[in-house]
Chains A and B, each alone.
Chain A
Amino acid sequence: MSAASRNVADSSVTSAPRQLTLARARQVAESVADPELPMLTLADLGVLRDVTVQGDHVIVSLTPTYSGCPAMHEMRRDMTARLAAAGFAAVEVRTLLSPPWSSDLISAEGRGKLAAAGIAPPRSRSGPSPGPVQLTLFATGPPVACPVCGSSDTQRIAAFSGTACKDLHRCRACGEPFEHVKEI
């Protein structure tokens, strides 16, 4: 049985009245979690860019965080399944490439959830400059606060980490290593 048909069957059993409104579609779409950072919703992450409804047809626009983000397929599938379960029979998930994703799109609530999960949220970044990108040798920017103890006495130990969107730091005060969402 496919995911969609099973969900439709489940909702007919509960026979809850379906309100196929834009507000309902948004509410459902905004509750879908990110597969790699499950403490965040796609809305918190800023990946969910737009939701529109035409009849029972929903169009959701998602922007990948990185070109190679391998979780896009999972995001699409989760989004489609959740909206189908809410009664939206036809769900189209579109990729929106422009404007590109930026760590600045992570909501204040999302930043709080990241920190609570032990992942340092990104610092705000300066906007992209139209000209050549300057080389920043061994520059680390302002210190990233430790999500465990709050100390600013931290150090980046690797420019990349377990997922494309994070790098690796350690705290000299409490000794804990931690991940940090990179500014892009």
Chain B
Amino acid sequence: MPFDTAYEAISEDTDTGHRWAFGTGFTDPLAGVDTAVPAGVDGADLAAYCLMLGDDALIMSHRLQQWLARAPELEEDTALANIALDLLGQARLLLARAGTADGSGRTEDDYAFARGEREFRNVRLAEVIDTDFAGLLARLLVFSTWRLALLTRLRSSVDPVLAAVAAQGVKELTYHRDYAAEWVIRLGDGTDYSRERMQAGLAAVGPLIPELFETSAIERRLTAVGVAPDPAEVRAESDAVIRHVVEAATLDLPAVPGLAGVGGQAGRDGVHTEAMGYLLGELQSVARAMPGSTW
């Protein structure tokens, strides 16, 4: 069937299944899922927690997407695209869960495209700019190790939606962590030059680590009712995995003070680094220029 434009060809609604394109007409990722808030759980707290984990995934995914067509080899491009896609999927489910938990009915798009910088609750580790491939791998190692440790525990959350998202996410993050760990070792235990770059990547990520294990007031309340794990409790496990990888790579990751926030506030409070505004400017540009459009 002829089409006037390529856009028409990929966007035509068809029931044959022979001609389709991803990226048009997304539907609610929680369609048909029971989203009742469990008894004894505060819906606003649950929503806020979903935004924390959802924003971590969304923002990390966006940084990974910026690597597409820039990775050193095609296989790495594919790997980073797949990791970005997994995290975007986790983000969609979590943001959609937030809108059902707080009763606002906001959609994933409302959260992703219509919030301002101060309303994003991701840790700052997710948002920083990667200066090179080694820097990305250092960040991905820490991010996926920490998130895997959190989601492993979140599988037993009393919120069935969070538990289900975690059960699937654990399988995905296991691959992400292995991928990052193998590259950190390959580069660290490689040439003098790759070793130098990998060590610099680890040094850059060090100050962003302490924030990951700080327990917010929301998490403290949700830990008490069995919804969320306490991030402070995953520190030992997460540190041990990272130390194992760094040693196998013959590198160092010295403990350093955390990057200062503003008045004691950081990513979970909506206080971000300068890089965040530029990231959101890109992420939200189309949605803000053409509100309500689909593509």
Interface residues, chain A, with chain B CB atoms under 8 Å away = 3-4, 6-7, 33, 35, 61, 64, 66-74, 76-78, 81, 92-102, 128, 130-133, 135-138, 157-162, 164, 168, 182, 184
Given contacts A66-B86, A136-B178, whether A160 and B78 have CB atoms under 8 Å apart is yes
Q: Bound state CA distance, A167 and B259, in angstroms?
A: 37
Given contacts A7-B15, A35-B17, A158-B79, whether A73 and B27 have CB atoms under 8 Å apart is yes
Closest partner residue, chain A, to B26 (CB atom): A73
Q: Are B78 and A67 in touch, CB under 8 angstroms?
A: no
Q: Bound state CA distance, A4 and B148, in angstroms?
A: 43
Q: Are A128 and B32 in touch, CB under 8 angstroms?
A: no
The residues of A that contact B167 with a CB separation of less than 8 Å are 98-100, 128
Q: Are A67 and B75 in touch, CB under 8 angstroms?
A: no
The residues of B that contact A131 with a CB separation of less than 8 Å are 152
B137 at interface, CB cutoff 8 A = no
Given contacts A3-B15, A97-B165, A100-B168, whether A68 and B178 have CB atoms under 8 Å apart is no
Find residues 83-112 in chain B having any chain A CB closer than 8 Å to their own CB.
83, 85-90, 92-93
B220 at interface, CB cutoff 8 A = no
10 residue pairs of the A-B complex, CB under 8 angstroms, read A3-B15, A64-B89, A67-B93, A73-B25, A76-B31, A97-B33, A128-B171, A132-B152, A160-B175, A164-B82
Q: Are B31 and A93 in touch, CB under 8 angstroms?
A: yes
Q: Bound state CA distance, A72 and B14, in angstroms?
A: 15
B67 at interface, CB cutoff 8 A = no
Q: Are B171 and A100 in touch, CB under 8 angstroms?
A: yes
Cβ distance A54 to chain B, nearest Cβ, rounded Å:
15
B225 at interface, CB cutoff 8 A = no
Find residues 220-237 in chain B having any chain A CB closer than 8 Å to their own CB.
237
B179 at interface, CB cutoff 8 A = yes
The residues of B that contact A66 with a CB separation of less than 8 Å are 85-86, 89, 168, 172
Q: Bound state CA distance, A112 and B279, in angstroms?
A: 45
The residues of B that contact A161 with a CB separation of less than 8 Å are 78, 82
Say which residue of B14, B93, B172 sits within 8 Å of A3 (CB atoms): B14
The residues of B that contact A97 with a CB separation of less than 8 Å are 30, 33, 93, 161, 164-165, 168
Q: Bound state CA distance, A35 and B86, in angstroms?
A: 18
Closest partner residue, chain A, to B241 (CB atom): A135
Q: Bound state CA distance, A81 and B121, in angstroms?
A: 40
Given contacts A68-B87, A70-B22, A135-B177, whether A98 and B75 have CB atoms under 8 Å apart is no
The residues of B that contact A130 with a CB separation of less than 8 Å are 155-156
The residues of B that contact A135 with a CB separation of less than 8 Å are 177-178, 181, 241, 244-245
Q: Bound state CA distance, A157 and B76, in angstroms?
A: 11
B29 at interface, CB cutoff 8 A = yes
Q: Bound state CA distance, A81 and B20, in angstroms?
A: 14
Q: Bound state CA distance, A7 and B237, in angstroms?
A: 56
Q: Are B181 and A137 in touch, CB under 8 angstroms?
A: yes
Closest partner residue, chain B, to A7 (CB atom): B15
Q: Are B33 and A138 in touch, CB under 8 angstroms?
A: no
Cβ distance A35 to chain B, nearest Cβ, rounded Å:
6
Q: Bound state CA distance, A184 and B172, in angstroms?
A: 8
Closest partner residue, chain B, to A165 (CB atom): B82
The residues of A that contact B241 with a CB separation of less than 8 Å are 135
Cβ distance A184 to chain B, nearest Cβ, rounded Å:
4
Q: Are B27 and A133 in touch, CB under 8 angstroms?
A: no
Given contacts A66-B89, A137-B178, whether A132 and B31 have CB atoms under 8 Å apart is no
Cβ distance B120 to chain A, nearest Cβ, rounded Å:
20
Q: Bound state CA distance, A161 and B164, in angstroms?
A: 25
Q: Are B164 and A159 in touch, CB under 8 angstroms?
A: no
Query: Beyond A71-B22, A137-B178, A160-B75: 18 further Cβ-contacts under 8 Å?
Result: A4-B15, A7-B15, A35-B20, A68-B89, A68-B92, A70-B23, A76-B31, A78-B17, A95-B30, A95-B32, A100-B164, A128-B170, A135-B241, A159-B79, A159-B178, A160-B175, A164-B82, A184-B175
Cβ distance B211 to chain A, nearest Cβ, rounded Å:
22
B149 at interface, CB cutoff 8 A = yes
